Each structure stands twice: as C-alpha cells, then as structure tokens.
Amino acid sequence: MANKQARLLAKKIIDGVTYQPNQVIEADAALIKALVKEGAADDSGAAVKHCIEQEGVKPVLHVSPEDKAAAEARQAEIDRLTSEISKLQAEWTAAADADKAAIEQAVAAKQAELAKL
C-alpha cells in the first residue's frame, strides 16, 4: 500500500517512536487511516500543508519494524552476493583460461540473484 502524510494532533507513540503534536509523519496509508479514525491525526491536505508551510515542519518517514527488518535482511543479502561476486572476479583474474568460463557462469548466476532483489 502507498504511503500517505498526516499531521499528528497529539503526542503519540507509534511502534516505539514518540511523535509530537503538529509533527507530520509519512507512513503506510493503513496506519494513517487508523490514526485518523482514532482522532490522533488529520490527513487533510490543508492540515499537512499548514504544518509544512506555516510551521516549517519537515515530514518524517515512519517505517514499521516489520518493514525495517525486511529492508535490513534484503541489504544483508545484497552485501553477501556483492562480496561473493567480488571474490569470484578476483579468482577469475588469477584463474587458468580453462577455468574462466566456469567462474564467469558463477558470476552471472550471482548477478542474476542480485537483480531479483
């Protein structure tokens, strides 16, 4: 689901993060909808615009713990594959000509995995 912005109407703790009144948060639309329903936020364009333009508030991106964990796991996988590709490329440089094709195939396979992330 797409992100949406809202002005917080009161001090609010969301996923362990404390936000202050008149702070503008950007978060998953479902979270914003729930905050509006409970009366903790106003997602009208006028309310958000007022805080940003008149109060000088900068919107803060709120990321759920689940999304953060998924992003960290994805980055760890990217780092692992990048490291493996670098090692294979170093091996290729020192490899005999007969072994280079197999190393090139291994690099291509790792690059394909990386492209899927």
Q: Which tokens belong to 58?
A: 């900068």
Using CA atoms, how far residue 102 sits from 94, 95, 108, 113, 116, in Å, is 13, 10, 10, 17, 22
Residue 93, C-beta contacts closer than 8 angstroms, at least 6 positions apart? none
Task: For residue range 85-99, list pLDDT tens digits in order.
Answer: 999 999 999 999 989
Contact 7, 51 (CB under 8 A): yes
Would you state the pLDDT for residue 20? 94
pTM, two decimals, is 0.58
Task: For residue range 37-79, list pLDDT tens digits in order.
Answer: 999 999 999 999 999 998 899 999 998 777 777 778 888 898 9
Q: Given a cut of 60, is residue 1 above it in pLDDT?
A: no
| 102 vs 70, residue with greater confidence | 102
